[in-house]
Amino acid sequence: MFRLEGYLAWEAEVTAAERDAARFVERFGWLSGDQRELVREAYQEHRLEFAEGVVDRAARRSRRVAEFYRRRCLAICTRWAGVCAAVVAATALLAVLPALLRQ
């Protein structure tokens, strides 16, 4: 699911970069056709490099946050397992204690 979302988001970014590059080049009517194409390609390439950097930083941050919450969840689960084990042990001891005291 997330791979498909990522693919579609990236394709939308590529389409937007192409559209924006074409609009940008329109400002320079005095450039020759080859020059306009070079400027368009350079603009699009720069835009996609920037977008890739944004995506990479977001992905790294997402992995760090996910790892933080994994560790927190494990710590909480471990703590609760200890509390549950202590309650079970105390309950068992209290259940057996009257029989032990009668002897």
pLDDT in tens, the chain (103 residues): 678 888 898 899 999 999 999 999 999 989 999 999 999 999 999 999 999 999 899 889 999 999 999 999 999 999 999 999 999 999 999 998 888 888 7
Per-residue pLDDT at 98: 84
**pTM value surpassing 0.75:** no
In angstroms, the CA 64 to CA 92 distance is 42
pLDDT given for residue 54 in this prediction: 92
pLDDT score recorded for residue 88:
97
Whole-angstrom distance, CA of residue 85 vs CA of residue 100: 22
